[in-house]
Amino acid sequence: MATTKTATIAHPTIGPVTGSTAKEGVVQFLGLQYATLVDRFAPPALKDYGKQNETMEATKLGPQVLSIAPNADGEFALLQHTLEYDRSTLTQSDTEGLCLNITAPKSTNRSLDTSARLPVFVFIHGGGFVVGSGGYPQYDLARFVRLSVAEGMPVNAVYRLGGPGFLTSSQMRKAGYKPNNGLRDQRAALLWLQKHISGFGGDRDSITLMGESAGGISACYHLFSKEPLFKRMMSMSGTMLLVPSTTSEVADANYASAVQALGFGGEDGDVETMVKMDGQELVVTLTGTPALPVIDGEIHPGSFDFDGIMNDKTSILGQQWCEAAIIGDCAFDGNIQGLRLMHRKKDIANAFCTSITDSLGPSDSGTADKLLSAYGIKPDLADDEAFFRILQVANDLNFYIPTLALAQNLSKYMKTYMYRFNELNPWEGPWKGHATHILDLTFLLQNFNKYLEESQRGVAEQFAKDVIRFVNGQDPWAAWKASGESLGKANVLGPDGKMEVVEDVPEKVGRRNIMLELAKEVWLDKLNDALDAFMKATPPV
């Protein structure tokens, strides 16, 4: 007699819900809609289930939101390795895509203990706010749950991307549409969990929010919420300092570009036309329009810079209600910025040298010379080598230094832990032999373990077990603390299977000291602005 691969629970606020038990050791409730949308630009409204008598089927992935890349192949290309999966399971929807996937451990062979109070781990995917889906196979949390010694309940969250997620303007606000839809969606998902997760056996008072890249940026933004949204936070290769703040004036300019790209007339009726036009055509046409959070005084409270974060001048409300944070980076996160610069590789060294020198100006020409010399960048450097070294500059200013800045801020108010990921990409391609962007997440979620070298599998499993302890309110490793001139500890993962908690200084964690030295002459914000001036001619990651 065949064993059934489903399990049904009597949820107290939703009604009967059937999940899938097809994967060993877990029950997965897939495609649970957490919010509804009147149209593609409307604010999310928490799903009202009413008095539901019919059983809700939650055994298959729900639709993903509109995206220019409807599958995982783009991220596989960056990782230089693929996973087999059924691409037909990744459908898209304009207004029905705000869904959650809940993965919980089985308490017996088939059932779920809904009386348990398991800590909840919420994952927000990256993708530069334009691509990605919680349904991608590399984000499946079943293996992470099975590895858990102290059981937990991971959740994948889906949010609007691209134009529907972040396009805004004075015209759109006049029509009643608020900015930052993608972030509002994420906040709605967290509020949904506070309301409904206990019915699945989760603890609403023990939620850990984790994001990678754009998801890490998102997690940082949610620290500015007045109301508590989670108890712990984990930011992987992404902070609020990764992207420049977008003002309403810049948003209006981006909107004008969007209207022009769509071939509209720049009139009040354009908003209504964008609401009604084909959604896939909209997101594809707006591929070149920046999709970034916009300062609105609410979700995005104001401009961020190194001075404000490092010197505690920026008010982070989450300091009052978030108890602990993990922050980390990969040794070569900067490779992701290659997506923005690929079409500029020809004569890129000369362009970079000129841009940096002009941006820093005559008064800091000596610093410009030191920067270029330290990274080995000369105007006549070969294109491929210059491209690589410019990405190292981007790595240090966009990823490494921001982790130090954020840790310096948060460690004054909450337990803060740092990791430095140095395991090398083992797969054939241009990034083989480098600790590249997204690789830390690949190790954490366990889905590529059989393709890793044996020593790397050990690092992956230990990293996951450490994070599981953190989710359960325990110390994953020694805390990071800023005290005078000395820094705290960082957990260094790799290379070659080595794991060690050491003082978080560049020479001990495999990072460059260049920007920290240059910052003694020119403040980090000016250095960052100089890099941004070179990068801003292309769409953000």
Q: Which pLDDT belongs to residue 341?
A: 94
Task: Give domain status of residue 197, yes or no.
Answer: yes
Residues 376-401: tens digit of each pLDDT: 999 999 999 999 999 999 999 999 99
Based on the domain organization, do 46 and 170 belong to the same domain? yes
CA distance 540 to 287: 11
Based on the domain organization, do 76 and 169 belong to the same domain? yes
CA distance 437 to 395: 10
CATH at 164: 3.40.50.1820
Residues 302-317: tens digit of each pLDDT: 889 999 999 999 999 9
The Cβ of residue 496 has, within 10 Å, a number of other Cβ atoms equal to: 11
Residue 541 pairs in a beta bridge with none
End of a domain among 304, 325, 356?
304
3-class secondary structure, 530: helix
Q: Which pLDDT belongs to residue 485?
A: 54
Q: Which pLDDT belongs to residue 414?
A: 96
Task: Give domain status of residue 442, yes or no.
Answer: no
Residue 332 pairs in a beta bridge with 436
Q: Which pLDDT belongs to residue 368?
A: 96
Q: What percent of the chain has pLDDT over 70?
A: 95
Please give the residue that has the higher pLDDT: either 429 or 105. Answer: 429
What's the CA dihedral at 396, 399, 405, 411 to 10 degrees?
A: -130
Report residue 246: phi and psi, to 5°. Answer: -100, 120
Residues 325-339: tens digit of each pLDDT: 999 999 999 999 999
Q: What is the band of 265 on the pLDDT scale with cuts at 50, 70, 90?
A: confident
Based on the domain organization, do 398 and 522 belong to the same domain? yes
Based on the domain organization, do 394 and 295 belong to the same domain? no
Q: How many residues does the chain have?
A: 541
Q: Which pLDDT belongs to residue 461?
A: 96
Based on the domain organization, do 406 and 479 belong to the same domain? yes
CA distance 235 to 212: 6
Based on the domain organization, do 341 and 195 belong to the same domain? no
Based on the domain organization, do 212 and 118 belong to the same domain? yes
Task: Using only the alpha carbons of the chain, give its radius of gyration.
Answer: 23
Q: What is the pTM of this model?
A: 0.95
Task: Give domain status of residue 265, yes or no.
Answer: yes
Report the domain count for the chain: 2
Based on the domain organization, do 380 and 283 belong to the same domain? no
End of a domain among 255, 285, 304?
304
**Average pLDDT along the chain:** 92
Instruction: Examine the pLDDT at 107 and tell me if it is beyond 80.
Output: no
Q: Note down the domain range covering 248.
A: 6-304
Q: What is the band of 3 on the pLDDT scale with cuts at 50, 70, 90?
A: low
Based on the domain organization, do 73 and 28 belong to the same domain? yes
Q: What is the band of 288 on the pLDDT scale with cuts at 50, 70, 90?
A: confident
Residues 142-183: tens digit of each pLDDT: 999 998 855 677 888 889 999 999 999 999 999 999 999 999
Q: Is the peptide bond before 495 cis (omega within 30 degrees of 0)?
A: yes
**Whole-number Cα distances in Å, 448 to 103, 115, 206, 456, 458:** 18, 33, 28, 10, 12
Q: What is the band of 484 on the pLDDT scale with cuts at 50, 70, 90?
A: low
End of a domain among 304, 321, 352?
304
The Cβ of residue 296 has, within 10 Å, a number of other Cβ atoms equal to: 19
Task: Give domain status of residue 404, yes or no.
Answer: yes
H-run or E-run covering 185:
helix 181-196
Task: Give domain status of residue 315, yes or no.
Answer: no
How many angstroms from the chain centroid is the CA of residue 348? 29
Residues 23-82: tens digit of each pLDDT: 988 999 999 999 999 999 999 999 988 777 789 999 999 999 999 888 899 999 999 999
Q: What is the band of 268 on the pLDDT scale with cuts at 50, 70, 90?
A: confident
